[in-house]
């Protein structure tokens, strides 16, 4: 039983690390900030979740698992926000590759003024 859990933990850890590596390669390979955000958000989050699952399977201590669950929850909440803020800043300062976009519904609309509530 312990052996099976350890094996599963190992598989999760290796897969998770691999996905994080892929996300890193994506940051280098993708041509602009907006496309890089896809790499930073998706394989990165799944990779981290797998690493956390792997850790949980190996540690098996309720207190540690509580902490891992919290880390996972806050990652799921904060990573999309970080990607959104970076993408938005890149778009507003025009640091994006326009030639990659086949259409842009945001072009021509004014960015909202910095009023509370917007």
Partner 1 sequence: MSGRTRRGTMTPGFTLGMVIIWVLLWGDLSVANVLAGTALVVLMALLFPQPPPERGQHLRPLACLRFLGRFAVELVQASAQVTRAIFRFGREPSCAVVAVDLRSRSDLMLTLIALALSLVPGSVIIEVRRATGTLYVHSLDVSDQEGIERVRRQVRDLERRLVRAVGSTSDLRRVERS
* 8/91 with CB nearer partner 1: 91
Residue 48 binding partner 1, by CB under 8 A: no
Separation CA 34–CA 91 (nearest Å): 8
| 21 near partner 1, rule: CB under 8 A | no
**Cα separation of 91 and 97, whole Å?**
9
Asked if 17 touches partner 1 (CB under 8 A), the answer is no
Q: Is 102 in the site for partner 1 (CB under 8 A)?
A: yes
Nearer to partner 1, 6 or 32 (CB): 32
Chosen residue from 8, 11, 22, 72 binding partner 1 by CB under 8 A:
22
Q: What are residue 116's phi and psi, to 5 degrees?
A: -60, 140
Q: Is 118 in the site for partner 1 (CB under 8 A)?
A: yes
Radius of gyration of the chain (CA): 19
Q: How far apart are CA 82 and CA 117, in angstroms?
A: 20
């Amino acid at each position: 039983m312990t052996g099976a859990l350890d094996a599963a933990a190992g598989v999760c850890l290796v897969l998770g690390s691999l996905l994080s590596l892929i996300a890193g390669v994506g940051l280098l390979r993708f041509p602009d900030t907006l496309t890089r955000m896809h790499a930073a958000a998706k394989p990165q989050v799944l990779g981290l979740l797998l690493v956390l699952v792997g850790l949980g399977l190996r540690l098996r201590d309720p207190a540690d698992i509580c902490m891992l669950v919290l880390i996972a929850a806050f990652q799921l909440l904060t990573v999309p926000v970080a990607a959104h803020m970076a993408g938005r800043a890149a778009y507003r300062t025009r640091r994006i590759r326009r030639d990659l976009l086949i259409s842009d519904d945001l072009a021509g609309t004014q960015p909202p003024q910095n009023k509370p509530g917007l």
